[in-house]
């Protein structure tokens, strides 16, 4: 889904989509495509505290099987009269020696707060990518929390769920309070109001830097000079190292026209932190922009007069695949002889949309591998229906290229369908799913990892360019169709073809 990140915000790049867990899910049909279905939580419980019997328990069970037959069976082999005598004696002895049985204690009721906590625990147990749970016995974590953690009211329960998820050491597995979850859902449906920047923590733990993945094109943050890779140290004086991702997102949002002061350190070592005053505004994304350039100019010096098609994908939303389909068709009909696909500052979005765009440009080959702790379990492949499988193609990437856009760039690169030009991408190769809880809150859970068709783990590594472009020079390349076409004829245009 296009989350808070893609609109503004603080949702990390990649609102992922989890194929249903099932055996042999990487099987392909006649078309060679994966038959995986859409996201579903399922599967058996995992963790180191599972149901397998211990060696001691196994010995105890073996010993029990060798014990003599029960007293009923022994009596059955005796005479009826002897059995009656034995039974009478046993009952008499019991009456004399056994005190009256006390009533069993009443079962302790499970509270609504405990049930809510268990909902979150169970969602992670079923779906989390790491079945070692960061080296923890997940069942013991549950029992310890229920015994030792205050769960007397809703705030305490939410805090307990946050602590539970934090124990996994994964910044992308996190809790969303009801207002945060509602804001996330609203952001997938239209514009939100904020500074227009997508951010993420590149590592887990306290003190991690809040890093800018991508500013919204033309948004307040970009106009204020904030660039991909910059680090936000504070929001209105509050250190981001002490904030969760969604707490930071909430501070970046606010009423239209209100101002926020961001303490920003340039990501390229360009100087000390500085305060940047930014006015919040409605942020709306046009997911796809395209243009037919009358000439390739200096981008293709061997054939400068040939027509070039430019497609900019800002995010992967519900509309992206259809808009790219329209763009490719129009550019093809207009006579474009080569294509530039620009996914700079694209922080991801809907994973299926990235796969669909890949299928428009690839006739055969794998697009992405989905792996969990058990290895690769799903493969998404081309289906033979590409719109433009042959025209020379270059993909533009930078440090703001993340998640689904990295999947697309990696697929085109590994299948030798395209050159990748620019900078190494962000390195966000994790897939999350959102699980709504009964009180309207939700947990975002990392459920799998992306791998390129060559088996390269994208996470924290990224997609390396085959045509490196120096960052300051890359920043001069426009992010809109008409401006890009004008730029192609200038001396500043890098050679791409």
Q: How high is the pLDDT of residue 301?
A: 92
Residues 6+ apart with CB under 8 A from 166: none
> Does residue 116 have a pLDDT over 90?
yes
Q: Determine the Cα–Cα distance for residues 468 and 33; give it in Å rounded to an integer.
A: 32
> Does residue 92 have a pLDDT over 90?
no
Q: Is 265 a catalytic residue?
A: no
Residues 256, 428: contact at Cβ < 8 Å? no
For residues 166 and 26, which has the higher predicted lDDT (pLDDT)? 166
Identify the residue whose tokens are 């009423």: 255
What are the tokens at 18? 């989890």
Q: Which CATH fold would you assign to the domain 285-430+446-488?
A: 2-enoyl-CoA Hydratase; Chain A, domain 1 (3.90.226)
Count Cβ atoms within 10 A of the Cβ of residue 254 and give its class: 0-12 exposed, 13-18 middle, 19 or more buried. Answer: middle
User: pLDDT digit string (tens) for 39-61?
Assistant: 332 233 333 333 344 444 443 33
Catalytic residue among 34, 200, 405, 428: 428
Confidence at 117, pLDDT banded by 50, 70, 90: very high
Q: Is 203 a catalytic residue?
A: no
User: pLDDT digit string (tens) for 210-228?
Assistant: 888 778 878 899 999 998 7
User: pLDDT digit string (tens) for 319-328?
Assistant: 999 999 999 9
Q: Determine the Cα–Cα distance for residues 168 and 472; give it in Å rounded to an integer.
A: 38
Q: Determine the Cα–Cα distance for residues 368 and 316; give it in Å rounded to an integer.
A: 16
Region 291-314 average pLDDT = 94
% the chain with pLDDT above 90 = 51
What are the tokens at 162? 């946050």
> Does residue 309 have a pLDDT over 60?
yes
Confidence at 107, pLDDT banded by 50, 70, 90: very low
> Does residue 268 have a pLDDT over 80?
no
The answer to which of 72-86, 176-190, 385-399 has the lowest mean pLDDT is 72-86
Phi and psi at 382, nearest 5°, equal -65, 155
Domain with CATH 2.30.42.10 in the chain: 202-283
Q: Determine the Cα–Cα distance for residues 350 and 352; give it in Å rounded to an integer.
A: 6
Q: How high is the pLDDT of residue 128?
A: 95
DSSP of 392-456, one letter per residue? -EEEEE-TT--THHHHHHHHHHHTTS-EEEES------EEEEEEE-TTS-EEEEEEEEEE-TT--
Q: How high is the pLDDT of residue 104?
A: 46
> Which CATH number is 202-283's, of 2.30.42.10, 2.40.30.10, 3.40.50.300, 2.60.40.10?
2.30.42.10
Q: How high is the pLDDT of residue 77?
A: 40
What are the tokens at 451? 């791998």
What are the tokens at 20? 């249903």
Region 450-473 average pLDDT = 92
Region 72-85 average pLDDT = 38
Residues 433, 15: contact at Cβ < 8 Å? no
> Does residue 193 have a pLDDT over 50?
yes
3-state secondary structure of 97: helix
The answer to which of 87-96, 275-284, 422-431 has the lowest mean pLDDT is 87-96
Q: Determine the Cα–Cα distance for residues 272 and 249; give it in Å rounded to an integer.
A: 24
Q: How high is the pLDDT of residue 8?
A: 31
From residue 377, alpha-carbon distances to 29, 189, 368 in Å are 15, 32, 11
Q: Indicate the length of the chain as a whole number.
A: 497
Confidence at 12, pLDDT banded by 50, 70, 90: very low
Domain with CATH 3.90.226.10 in the chain: 285-430+446-488
Q: Determine the Cα–Cα distance for residues 367 and 365; give it in Å rounded to an integer.
A: 7
- Say if pTM beats, i.e. exceeds, 0.85: no
Confidence at 108, pLDDT banded by 50, 70, 90: low
Looking at every residue in the chain, the average pLDDT score rounds to 78
Count Cβ atoms within 10 A of the Cβ of residue 108 and give its class: 0-12 exposed, 13-18 middle, 19 or more buried. Answer: exposed
Catalytic residue among 7, 187, 381, 403: 403
Q: How high is the pLDDT of residue 280?
A: 92
The answer to which of 164-168, 227-231, 359-363 has the lowest mean pLDDT is 227-231
Confidence at 191, pLDDT banded by 50, 70, 90: low
């Amino acid at each position: 889904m296009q989350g808070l990140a893609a609109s503004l915000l603080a949702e990390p790049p990649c609102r992922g989509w989890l194929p249903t867990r099932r055996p042999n899910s990487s099987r392909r049909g006649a078309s060679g495509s994966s038959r995986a279905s859409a996201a579903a939580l399922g599967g058996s419980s995992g963790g180191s505290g599972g149901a397998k019997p211990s060696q001691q328990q196994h010995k105890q069970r073996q010993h029990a099987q060798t014990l003599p037959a029960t007293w009923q069976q022994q009596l059955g082999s005796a005479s009826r009269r002897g059995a009656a005598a034995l039974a009478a004696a046993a009952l008499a002895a019991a009456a004399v020696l056994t005190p009256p049985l006390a009533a069993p204690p009443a079962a302790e009721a499970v509270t609504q707060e405990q049930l809510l906590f268990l909902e979150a625990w169970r969602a992670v147990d079923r779906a989390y990518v790491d079945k070692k749970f960061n080296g923890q016995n997940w069942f013991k974590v549950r029992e310890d929390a229920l015994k030792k953690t205050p769960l007397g009211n809703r705030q305490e329960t939410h805090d307990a769920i946050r602590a539970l998820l934090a124990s996994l050491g994964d910044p992308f597995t996190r809790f969303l309070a009801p207002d945060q979850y509602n804001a996330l859902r609203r952001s997938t449906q239209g514009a939100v109001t904020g500074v227009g920047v997508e951010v993420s923590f590149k590592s887990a733990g306290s003190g991690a830097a809040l890093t800018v993945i991508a500013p919204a094109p033309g948004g307040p943050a970009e106009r204020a000079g904030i660039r991909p890779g910059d680090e936000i140290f504070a929001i209105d004086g509050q250190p981001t190292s002490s904030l969760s991702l969604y707490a930071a997102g909430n501070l970046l949002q606010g009423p239209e026209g209100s101002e926020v002061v961001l303490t920003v350190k340039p990501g390229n070592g360009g100087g000390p932190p500085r305060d940047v005053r930014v006015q919040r505004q409605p942020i709306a994304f046009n997911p796809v922009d395209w243009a037919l350039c009358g000439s390739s100019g200096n981008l293709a010096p061997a054939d400068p007069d040939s027509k070039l098609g430019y497609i900019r994908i800002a995010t992967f939303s519900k509309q992206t695949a259809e808009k790219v389909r329209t763009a490719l068709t129009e550019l093809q009909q207009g006579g474009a002889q080569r294509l530039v696909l620009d996914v700079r500052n694209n922080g991801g979005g809907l994973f299926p949309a990235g796969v669909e765009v890949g299928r428009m440009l690839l006739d055969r080959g794998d697009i992405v591998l989905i792996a969990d702790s058990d290895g690769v379990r799903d493969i998404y492949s081309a289906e033979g229906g590409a719109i433009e499988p042959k025209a020379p193609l270059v993909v533009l990437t930078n440090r703001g290229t993340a998640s689904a856009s990295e999947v697309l760039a990696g697929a085109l690169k590994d299948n030798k369908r395209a050159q990748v030009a620019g900078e190494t991408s962000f390195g966000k190769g994790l897939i999350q799913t959102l699980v709504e809880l009964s009180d309207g809150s939700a947990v975002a859970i990392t459920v799998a990892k992306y791998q390129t068709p060559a088996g390269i783990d994208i996470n924290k590594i990224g997609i390396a360019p085959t045509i490196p472009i120096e960052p300051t020079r890359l920043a001069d390349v426009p992010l809109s169709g008409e401006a890009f076409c004008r730029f192609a004829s200038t001396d500043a245009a890098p050679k791409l073809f």
